[in-house]
Amino acid sequence: MPSFQHLLLKQFLTAAAAPLARRKPSVGAMRLAMEAGSLFQFMPWKVNLESFKLDNRLEAEWLRPRAAHPTRVLLYLHGGGYVLGSLNTHRSLVGSLALRTGLNVLTINYRKAPDHPFPAALDDARRAYRWLLRHGHQPHEIVVAGDSAGGGLALALLLALRDAGEVLPAAGIGLSPWTDLNLPITALRRVAREEGLLLEALQMRTWGPLYAHKTPLTHPLLSPAQADLHGLPPLLIQISTAEVLYDDVVKFTRKARAAGVSVTLQPFEGLVHWWHLFWRVVPEARQALDQVAAFLTEMWAQPAAKPARLLLAERRLPLRRRAA
């Protein structure tokens, strides 16, 4: 059963839905509201912040906890439906994740729709990953993660790297990932009334098409649930049973497992979308972030595996050469 703190959060979101629905705020107004809200999301103690321009063009930040692992890193892609969100809106969450995992975290302010539609966000994510490689980080010591649209973007990044024949990172993490840009009406009717009201108030069904622009929503790098999922690294997926995204995430998980991917699915009961953002007040959010840390600890405790690209290459070799 969800906590009392979560119940209060849900009531607040429900109360906010009706005024939003009446005003139908523009994307610009919603961005401004999120930035204003981020003023009250403070960084956790013992995490240092370094702001810089990645490749002299992309706003980025390192969040470095004290006593972080010297070589392992996390590349984090924030959520926001591909139209909202920034380094500011997610800095508190990413800082908490850095502290709990003991990893230095690189996070980027990738370009947003509608000004920069697909594949701008994906190109920026790929730029950040390649930047890490150029600066001496090894693929098997990099994890890619994100929440909501950022979780979908993290999965799309893995697919794009695989298809390009590049060595994949050690793992991917999706916190309520958006795996299919089509939000079916049946799902909107099935989930908790509170989230349905908020989705309608913010006109979230329009955000996927804004990002896709002229590309079909079924494109696998827009909707990873539509992709061939073979050859991906281990995945951790967290989702609430009350989210609109729940059914699509479950389908994605089943499809990935059928393709031979190791997927850890961690469902949470009755929580609102983006509950991770409220880690200071919602105990389920802190539990979820602790489970991310536990997943990474267990993953890196396993014997080192060969990079995915090398494994795929070996499968193509004739039996005689492989035995040589």
Catalytic residues: 148, 243, 273
Measured over the CA atoms of residue 262, residue 289, residue 80 and residue 75, the dihedral's sign is negative
CA R_g for the chain:
19
243 within 8 A of 176, measured Cβ to Cβ: yes
DSSP state for residue 168 in the 8-state scheme = P
Rounded distance between C-alpha atoms, residue 155 and residue 153, angstroms: 5
Q: Which of 86, 64, 85, 81 is nearest to 73 (CA)?
A: 64
118 within 8 A of 212, measured Cβ to Cβ: yes
Phi, psi (degrees; rounded to nearest 5) at 160: -65, -40
How far, in Å, are 10, 35, 65, 77, 109 from residue 50 at the CA level? 34, 19, 11, 17, 14
221 within 8 A of 164, measured Cβ to Cβ: no
Q: What is the DSSP string of 32-94?
A: HHHHHHGGG-PPPTTEEEEEEEETTTEEEEEEEETT--SS-EEEEE--STTTS--HHHHHHHH
Could you tell me which residues come within 8 angstroms of residue 39 by beta carbon, excluding any fewer than 6 positions away?
A: none
DSSP state for residue 268 in the 8-state scheme = E
Helices and strands, number each (H, E), in the chain: 12, 8
Q: Which of 28, 309, 60, 17 is nearest to 165 (CA)?
A: 309
Partner residues linked to 17 by β-bridges: none
